[in-house]
Amino acid sequence: MLSIARRMVPASTRRWLLDKWKSPSTPTVGSVKLGDLRRLTPLSYHFGYDRGQPIDRYYIEDFLTCFANDIQGRVLEIGDRSYTIRFGGNRVSVSDVLHVSEDNPQATIIGDLTHADHIPSDTFDCIILTQTLHLIYDVRSAIKTLYRIMKPGAVLLVTFPGITQISSDRWGTTWYWSFTTQSAERMFSEVFPSAHLSVQAYGNVLTAASFLYGMAAQEMETKALHWHDPHYELLITLRAVKPVLQS
């Protein structure tokens, strides 16, 4: 499935959404019916994991599907290698996992992206970095490390939270940032040439509100999930390529 964030919404889908979701009349003040959503607490404090697949994970997997062919050679993923295996398959020759602490048995490299001099330069053909940079205060140093450890011509696939709840687990204590397409592109262009960056967003008012309430992707209609409204950036995605130096 091609990402709707990367192309025009098909006419048939646009008509369906306009008919279903964009009523010609807006409810008057006081007549809006919120039903199950008239509440001060979410349906889930765990991004919807306890109800199904979180909406942001649905979008992350759509993004990785679009760029699955980039996942090849020696691949670095953060935390575990699940996306490397799922989207890279037999194109992957070496799979490394980076984690910040030694309590992760899957980790092949222990380190902090802001202080990772022990990771050799020009090492990886692809880096998968999903939902990680918002937990790093010194984002600029992390981006410089990522650039350094990529081989020339390597691809970096990154996702960031935009409109979101904050994690209730241990990562909530280091949840420093949410991003927009503008902030992500500007920050990465300080290191990567702008022509080597592609930044997109997923989301609309319905999916953003549903995600904040903790609803799962399975509770949404697929066509609604794929309606992109640039005013509601639920998830930010970025593809960056390290240039090959000309001799």
23-71 confidence digits (pLDDT tens): 557 888 889 888 999 999 999 999 999 999 999 999 999 999 999 999 9
Residue 201: its pLDDT value, please? 98
Name all domains of the chain by residue range, CATH numbers in brackets: 56-203+233-241 (3.40.50.150)
Asked whether 133 and 158 are in contact (CB, 8 A), the reply is yes
Mean pLDDT of the chain: 92
| Alpha-helical regions (H) of the chain | 11-21, 55-66, 82-83, 139-149, 181-188, 205-213, 222-225
Does the pLDDT value for residue 15 go beyond 70? no
Residue 20: its pLDDT value, please? 63
Residues 95-110, buried b or exposed e (16+ Cβ, 10 A)?
Answer: bbbbbbeeeeeebeee
Alpha carbon of residue 34 to chain centroid? 29
The stretch 80-91 carries a mean pLDDT of 97
pTM, full prediction: 0.89
Question: CB-side exposure of 240: number of CA atoms within 13 Å?
Answer: 27
The stretch 205-219 carries a mean pLDDT of 98
- Percentage of the chain lying above the pLDDT 90 cut: 80
192-207 confidence digits (pLDDT tens): 999 999 999 999 999 9
Rounded CA-CA distance 118/116 in Å is 5
Does the pLDDT value for residue 155 go beyond 80? yes
The SS3 of residue 188 is helix
Rounded CA-CA distance 4/14 in Å is 11
Q: How confident is the model at residue 76 (pLDDT cuts 50, 70, 90)?
A: very high
Q: 134, 136, 97: which is closest to 113 by C-alpha?
A: 136
Q: How confident is the model at residue 245 (pLDDT cuts 50, 70, 90)?
A: confident
Residue 3: its pLDDT value, please? 45
Asked whether 218 and 53 are in contact (CB, 8 A), the reply is yes
